[in-house]
Every structure is written in structure tokens, then in C-alpha cells.
Amino acid sequence: MSNKKRKWLDEYVQHGFTYITERDGSQRPICMICNAKLSNSSLVPEKLKEHFLNLHGDGEYKNTTLAEFKIKRARFDEKATLPALGFVPINKPILTASYEVAYLIAKQGKPHTIGETLIKPAVLKMANLMLGKAAEVKLSQIPLSNDTINERIEDMTKDILAQVVADLISSPTKFSLQLDETTDVSNLSQLAVFVRYVKDDMIKEDFLFCKPLTTTTKAADVKKLVDDFFRGNNLSWDMVSAVCTDGAPVMLGRKSGFGVLVKADTPHIIVTHCILHRHALATKTLPPEMAEVLKIVVECVNYVRNCAIRHRIFSELCKEMGSEFEVLLYHSNVRWLSRGRVLNRVFAMRVELTQFLREHQHRHADCFKNSRFILILAYMADIFAALNHLNQQMQGGGVNIIEAEENLKAFQKKLPLWKRRTKNDNFANFPLLDDCVSKIEDVSGIGDISVTKELKQAVATHLDELAKSLDGYFPTRESYPAWVRQPFTFDIETADVNDEYLDEIIEIQQSQIQQQLFRTTTLSSFWCRQMVSYSTIARKALEIFIPFVTTYLCEQSFSRMLDIKTKKRNRLCCENDMRVAIAKVKPRISELVSQRQQQKSH
């Protein structure tokens, strides 16, 4: 095999090529149109002409003359960056494609190496099969290496943060914060912060930052982390109206909690405890008998699930018996909906579980044949299903204090009604329990009077304790002004004559346009749109809608963190990836591409 190197000839310019010289002295042709760098063996007229015709023969360069190509070559060689080493400017479509792919990778929380190891090979293979070799060559120029993807994500996260900060600074009202802390897969404490603010006549929520607490996780550490972020982004606590956190002592400690430190610097800020955490705490109160039933259920579930062999045998038993489900659910105290889902699953699979426990001679096997135990289990499954429904009503983004309080008050008012119905042998509010009681009555004719009487007493006791617990965690407080919820039916005559908002309320009530707007938009959006015409009353109303009432977004982001920072990526600084993955603001890729091209040209 000959090792002879081909030489560049000036006549090759007519095919749209110039050349670069490698460190070993070999010359390689480089296309002046698409920047494709070919091998030394391609330095022959036939191959150069083939490249030009396949990729550029039908485009704007079809009729380019030799003189025009010579001028283009002079300009190309003049602006090239280190042409001897093969560095050339990346054109706009290639750079845009690189950013778009990086955006998709970050949105899905995938490793940065996937661009080079999976996406690019797959795209090249598809292009070759569907479009031909020319398309494959063109797509192969898109840079998708690990370092490139990381750099693109960093550019996008800076742009997203800049947009959010600009929106906060320009917001017509103060913004509120939601923050919580967790430990990631590498045992590093991470603080997540979300923000709610007004923009474009709407209340918006977005990711602010997620940063590690590298040493201790005291309230002072949390406060310093937020202070440093504010200072670095031209924000201040004076721009904040409210802060919502979980109930951890670090956050809500009476003497040195984060809330205390915040209020010491800015007393006007309202610090609240997440309503979902309070709801979960309030529902933990159980009478001794029900607590014992829950304990037995958890022990039975753990007995089946903790052993792989028993778990497989139980699943096969469920298949043989035609069960709707094949798997029991683990109970977790820290998950809001866990108790209700575990109890409902065990109740639905009680026959299969009883059979399995009897075959394995488990000490709790006889419990599931006890009618009182089954009735208590049915009631607990029902009441916690109702509590789960209440919890889910208050989950999600955009929940405000008005919506949350309405749902809570409605549930609290139902409890005395359910108690009275139960005393009258009406179990309609507890469908599983009602079905069990009906079956007992069908079997015995008149029913087991002693069991039913004891059951009603147990249900009444729990409903009383639950109502008392909810009242303790959600005490009756001064409600929001009535005109906020119903500005057009509010009776002016019942208000204090010295109320500064009455004048603007009267004006709004007489406006047909505002009445039409009220009927066709959400309550929060309606008040946002009043900031120009009725700013005084609108600001007062938005003080109710802006504060967060839950830490749901933080909890949701922690679930996303588990997907992004895995055991194989345990050294990843996940803030950039999380911002791109979670933020609702989209990066301005076209501007980033222009900035990157300008940097390359200098």
C-alpha cells in the first residue's frame, strides 16, 4: 500500500474547497460552504466535485464562478481560527441543533454523554438509511460531546435565570418564596427554592435555584445561602412578601428557625407552614384500636414484601385466584398518600392475603377472619381515601389560600354530619364499610348488634379526634375580605365606611366590562388585570393570592432530582440540569447561538 500524500492544487478552488495543513504535513481539503473537512485521499477533482454536487449543487452556489470562489477562499482563510489545527467557525444551523439537542437531554434528565453515545449515532444511522450518505455527512458536524452538552446546558440555565430574575425585579407586586431541603443520593443536603410572582396579568410560578448546603444544615446556613443568591442577582428581602416552608425545626423553630431569622431582618414577611404537611400531621391521630389495626396491616405487608420468595409466591397466588392486584404496597410515614393507598390495597386483597398468611401459619392470619377487624379496616380504608382526596385537592401548582381554605372548611364541616349519620346506622359516606355491614346483616339476618354498636362508637370516637386534630392544625382565623372572592355581590353597606378600598370597589361594581372579565377568567388573573386601573384594591387582593400555601413544587423537584442525580452521576452539580428540566421559562436559543457565533468570530 502506497503512503504517498496528495498535494493541493489551486484549481481545486472551483469546486468550493480550500485546504488545511495538518501537523504531519499532510494537506486536507475543507469545504468553504459547509466546513466539512475531508481526508487527504479525497484531494482529487472527482471526489471534490462529487461532494459539491451532492450537497450544494442545487442551492445558491450552483452557478458560482471560479473568480467568486477565489474571493470566498480569501475571506474564508482570513477569518479562519487556527486553520492549521483544523478549527473552523460553526455555522448557525449546526450550533442551533446542538443547543436544541442539549435542551431535550436536560429536559429528560438524561446523562450528558447520551448525545455522543446514543443520539448522534442513531441520527446518523437513520439519515444514512433514509436520506443517503450526504445527509449523514452533514449531520455528523453537529457537536454533541459530553463537554459540549454540559456547556450548552450551562448557557441555557444562565439565560433562564436571567429571565426569571428580570421578571422578579419588574414585577408590580412583591413575590413569595417556597423552600425545602432534602438529602440527595450522595448524602449532600440540597435546598430547593421556588418563586411566585406577577407577570403579564398572570400569577406565575417558577424554579429559582437549588444549591447544596455543603456543611451543616442549620437555619443560619439556609439564610446565608438565600442571602448570597439574592446579593448575586440584585434581589433583596424587601421584595419578598411571604415564605412557605415545611414544619422542620430548622425552618420553623420558635427561637432560631429560618422563619425567625427572616422576620428579624424584614418583619413584614409572612412565614407559613405548608398546608399539606399540616394535613398529614393532623391525620396521624388514631384511637388505640385503629392504631393496632394499622400496625397489624403494616406487619403483614412487610412480612410478604420483605422476602423475595414470599413476594413471588404471593403474586402467583393472586394470579391463580384472579385478583385485581398482584402486589401489596409498602407503608411510608413520610409520603402523604401512603396510608390510604396501603389500607385500600390490603382491603381489596384481604381474601388472598388471608389465604397466604394461613398457609404460612402467620400469627396475624386469624385477624382477617375477625368481623370487627375487617369492619375497622374497611372504615380506615374509607376515611383515609377521603383524606387522600382532600390532600390531592390541595396539591399541584397555582393553589392559593382561598382554594385551600375552602376545601379544608368543607371537609371539617362534613365530619359532624358523618358522625350523626353513623349513629343512625347510615354508612353511606363510607362505601367499603357500608358494603361490609350489609354483608354481615345478610348472613346473620338481623346483623351482629354488639359489633355494629361497638363499630359506631369507634367511628364516632375517631371522627371526633380527627375534627379536633384538624382544628388544632388549622385554627379559625380572620378570613380574607369578602370582596376578594365576590367583588360584584359584595354589600358596600356592611363594610366599614373608613375602608380605603370601598371607592374602587364601587367603581368596579359599576363596570360592565369588569363584570364580563370576572365571568370569563380566573379569580387571580382578574385581580392581576386590575393593577393598572384599580391598583390599590388589586394590590390588596394579590397579597392573598401571591403567597404559597404548600411546598408541593419543592417536593416535586426532589422527585425529579432522583432521576437526574443517580448513583452513577453522584458527583453531578445538579442545579443547571434541574433548572432546564423544571423551569417553565424557556431559554432563548436563537440569542444564545448569536452570542456564541460572535464570541467565535473574535
Render pLDDT for 190-206 as a digit per residue (tens, 0 to 9).
999 999 999 988 999 99
From CA 40, how far away is CA 210, in angstroms rounded? Answer: 50
What mean pLDDT comes out for the span 478-485? Answer: 82
pLDDT at residue 74 in the model: 65
Render pLDDT for 87-108 as a digit per residue (tens, 0 to 9).
445 578 899 999 999 999 999 9
Task: Label the pairing between strands 240-245 and 175-183.
Answer: parallel
What mean pLDDT comes out for the span 158-178? Answer: 94
From CA 36, how far away is CA 495, in angstroms rounded? Answer: 77
For the ranges 54-63, 215-224, 516-525, 573-582, the lowest mean pLDDT is seen at 54-63
pLDDT at residue 84 in the model: 41
Return the C-alpha cell found at 231: 446579593
pLDDT at residue 72 in the model: 66
Does 122 have pLDDT greater than 90?
yes
From CA 399, how far away is CA 404, in angstroms rounded? Answer: 7
pLDDT at residue 59 in the model: 63
Mean pLDDT rounded to a whole number for the chain: 87
Burial bucket for residue 303 (CB in 10 Å: 0-12, 13-18, 19+): buried
Residues in the chain: 602
Unique residue bearing C-alpha cell 374509607: 382
Does 446 have pLDDT greater than 60?
no
pLDDT at residue 15 in the model: 81
pLDDT at residue 291 in the model: 92
pLDDT at residue 82 in the model: 41
pLDDT at residue 437 in the model: 85
Quick check: 144 and 111 in contact, CB under 8 A? no
Return the C-alpha cell found at 352: 388472598
Return the percentage of the chain with pLDDT > 90, whole number.
51
What mean pLDDT comes out for the span 390-416? Answer: 91
Does 448 have pLDDT greater than 90?
no
Does 23 have pLDDT greater than 80?
no
More confident position, 68 or 468: 468
Distant-in-sequence contacts of 393-400, Cβ < 8 A, 24+ apart: 394/275, 394/276, 394/279, 394/549, 394/550, 395/276, 395/550, 395/552, 396/552, 397/205, 397/552, 397/553, 398/203, 398/205, 398/524, 399/549, 399/550, 399/552, 400/524, 400/544, 400/545, 400/547, 400/549
pLDDT at residue 217 in the model: 86
pLDDT at residue 600 in the model: 61
pTM exceeding the 0.85 threshold for the entire prediction? no
pLDDT at residue 87 in the model: 43
Helix pair angle (92-107, 589-601), 10° resolution: 130
pLDDT at residue 88 in the model: 46
Does 61 have pLDDT greater than 70?
no
* Amino acid present at 297: V
More confident position, 325 or 494: 325
- Bridge partner residues of 194 (DSSP): 178, 207
Does 487 have pLDDT greater than 50?
yes
What mean pLDDT comes out for the span 8-21? Answer: 82
Residue closest to 418 by CA, chosen among 407, 434, 429:
429
pLDDT at residue 83 in the model: 42
Does 81 have pLDDT greater than 70?
no
pLDDT at residue 601 in the model: 55
List Cα–Cα distances, 234 to 237, 588, 598, in angstroms: 11, 21, 27
Does 162 have pLDDT greater than 70?
yes
Task: Provide the pLDDT confidence category of residue 502 given band limits of 50, 70 and 90.
Answer: confident
DSSP state of 580: H
Tell me if residue 11 falls in helix, strand or coil.
Answer: helix
Render pLDDT for 263-280 as a digit per residue (tens, 0 to 9).
998 999 999 999 999 998
From CA 514, how far away is CA 525, in angstroms rounded? Answer: 12
pLDDT at residue 594 in the model: 87
Render pLDDT for 244-265 as a digit per residue (tens, 0 to 9).
998 777 787 777 788 899 999 8
Residues 6+ apart with CB under 8 A from 298: 331, 342
What mean pLDDT comes out for the span 139-163? Answer: 93
Render pLDDT for 304-342 as a digit per residue (tens, 0 to 9).
999 999 999 999 999 999 888 999 999 888 788 889 999
For the ranges 59-73, 299-313, 538-552, 576-590, the lowest mean pLDDT is seen at 59-73
**Domains defined along the chain, listed by start:** 10-85 (no CATH), 153-274+551-601 (3.30.420), 281-473 (no CATH), 484-545 (no CATH)
